[in-house]
Amino acid sequence: MIFLLTHLLQVLKNHAERQQRFRFLSLVLFCFVFPSSWADSLLPDSLSIHGFSTLGTAWLNEPGVVLERDLGNQLGISQKGNPLDADSRLGIQADWQINARWSTTIQAVEAPRVVQNANNAIPWAFVKYQINNDTYLRAGRMGVYAFALSDQRNVGYVYPWVRPPEEFYGFMPIYSMTGVDSGWHHDFNFERSIDVRAFVARSDSSYFLPDSVTGTDSFTLKLSPLLGSTIVMNQGNLTARLAYMTMKVGSTFPGLESVLQQSQQVVPVYPSLAGLPGQADILNSRVSFYDSSMNYDNGHIMFMAEAAYTDFQSHFKPSMETGYLTIGYHVSPKVLPYLTYARVRPARSTFFVNSSAPPAGLAYLPPSSPLRPQATAAYAEGSYLKNAFNSYYFGVLQENQQTLSLGVRWDFYPRMDLKAQVDRTRVFDGGYQLWQIPANSFVDPSGVTVWSLAWDTVF
């Protein structure tokens, strides 16, 4: 197992995509043939090493387009691309119980990301202090505990689907944060308990962007401070959860500042651009996230539901309503077919620049006027800026789609499963942020079909 950890760290240092993929597959096979009980006999009782992996393959029926698992992964699902790119991943976690109160945890994950660096490869690296039996304090790098799958988005074995619904988890690729959090747990009786958490942190998340829009293929969204709290109630087979998170944006969209400045140069002849900087700038704006979820599984019937509202103070991106519902039935202890419906849509419009109003004064200038060329040039520049915002910036920052999924999970071996899933996705009103679409391609308005297979294991 020590060899496994060393080998993974070597993978994380090498950014050659092909070499990473071969090493990743070799590690998955190594996990399969290397029982964790061997590691237990080699390690001291205070140190434990565990891991998880997913070997997933997916393809879609629409040529020329790519569906992203989330905005932090530029490889995604396509018809002719590498079918292993979207869902395959490997993680290793080491926990050291220093004494009765102090412990430390580190987790390393190899997964396709738009930027391969230590920030993305090590989502967990924290120290924990157990104040008493019910209360703890942690400091360092840890998961953002604001979603139902906050600590498990990379661990395919713990959820029924091949991948978490893109409509909910796709547009917010925040896998970790750096800061402090505290939690309190209380058992009321054998079946009822409550967990309360609060955190103060910051986060740097890498997003994929079409380079035709920004001149670069990614940008880092800095969020600081990032504040939040969560309440989780457990009652037998039912778990209910409420969460709130607020963030201040500490970075801006590539190229946005210069375009905002250019827009003000043509305000005298195009007044509708005057309010653009105040409404479209994202630097120092706030984002608020409200989440609720409910899970139930009695061994026969299973359902999972989660809904969220994301409020963007800046009109550069619309506020979003997201949610999903999964219903399944255990036809046997090892076989679970399920049906999922997921939806994401804008809750309000972005600041679309009015393209119908004529530029001030242009209609009143005779063709022979010496000011006519200058006004016409300003009008042309204003029209260009409008198109840049409406078509490029605003257009690529919207999600508006729904997916209906049918799948089955088979736990064929202890700590292993096989999954098969088919998705039918429809995109509405240009909500293509989760898609990569070349200039001469389009998404079929009747829908796109995605087929997926996955093998998950924990060890």
Per residue in 358-372, pLDDT (tens digit) is: 454 444 445 555 544
Q: What DSSP state is assigned to residue 397?
A: G
The answer to which of 108-112, 163-167, 299-303, 419-423 has the lowest mean pLDDT is 108-112
Angle between the 2-13 and 17-33 helix axes, to the nearest 10 degrees? Answer: 170
Q: List the one residue out of 209, 207, 202 whose CA is nearest residue 220.
A: 207
**Residue 417 is encoded by which pair of tokens?**
């499963």
**Pairwise CA distance, residues 59 & 452, whole Å:** 7
Q: How far is CA 79 from CA 18, 66, 194, in A?
A: 19, 8, 46
At residue 44, does pLDDT exceed 80?
Answer: yes
Question: Which residue, 25, 88, 85, is CA-closest to 60?
Answer: 85
Amino acid residing at 368 = S
In a domain, 95, yes or no: no
Share of the chain above pLDDT 70, in %: 75
Query: What SS3 class is residue 245?
Result: strand
Contact 51, 4 (CB under 8 A): yes
Integer Cα distance of 369 and 352 in angstroms? 32
The answer to whether position 104 is within a domain reads no
Over pLDDT 90: what percentage of the chain?
A: 49
Give the pLDDT of residue 83: 77
Give the count of domains, the chain: 1
Residue 227 lies in a domain: yes
CA 327, CA 401: separation in Å to the nearest integer? Answer: 20
Question: What's at 458, amino acid-wise?
Answer: V
What's the pLDDT at 12? Answer: 42
The span from the CA of 81 to the CA of 112, in Å, is 13
pLDDT class of 354 with cuts at 50, 70, 90: low
From CA 115, how far away is CA 329, in angstroms rounded? 39
Confidence of residue 115 (pLDDT cuts 50, 70, 90): confident
The structure tokens listed for 270 are 């195009």
Q: Which of 3-17, 150-164, 185-199 is predicted least confidently? A: 3-17
Distance between CA atoms of 307 and 165, rounded to whole angstroms?
12
Show the DSSP H helices in 266-405 as ranges. 276-280, 372-387
Dmax over CA atoms of the chain, in Å, equals: 92
Q: What angle do CA 410, 412, 414 make, to 5 degrees?
A: 120
Torsion angle defined by CA atoms of residues 424, 242, 311 and 216, in that order, rounded to the nearest 10 degrees: -60
Instruction: Judge whether 45 lies within some domain.
Output: no
Please tell me the pTM assigned to this model. Answer: 0.84
User: Is residue 117 assigned to a domain?
Assistant: no
Question: Which range, 223-232, 253-262, 423-432, is most confident?
Answer: 223-232
Reported as a pLDDT band with limits 50, 70 and 90, residue 356 is very low
Grade residue 4 by pLDDT with cuts at 50, 70 and 90.
very low
Q: Is the pLDDT of residue 123 over 70?
A: yes
What is the full DSSP assignment across 161-190? SSS--HHHHTS-----EEEEEEEEEEESSS
Does 99 fall in a domain? no
Tens-place pLDDT, residues 47-79: 999 999 999 999 999 888 889 888 887 778 888
The tokens describing 66, both together, are 């790519």
pLDDT at residue 365 in the model: 45
Residue 10 counted as domain residue = no
- How confident is the model at residue 105, as a pLDDT? 97
Asked if residue 450 is part of any domain, the answer here is yes
Q: Can you name the residues that pair with 142 across neighbouring β-strands?
A: 177
Structure tokens at 105: 């945890």
Tell me the CATH number at 266. 2.40.160
Residue 271 domain boundaries: 56-84+126-458
Query: In 276-334, at which residue ranges do the beta strands (DSSP E only) sit?
Result: 286-297, 301-312, 320-329
Separation CA 3–CA 355 (nearest Å): 62
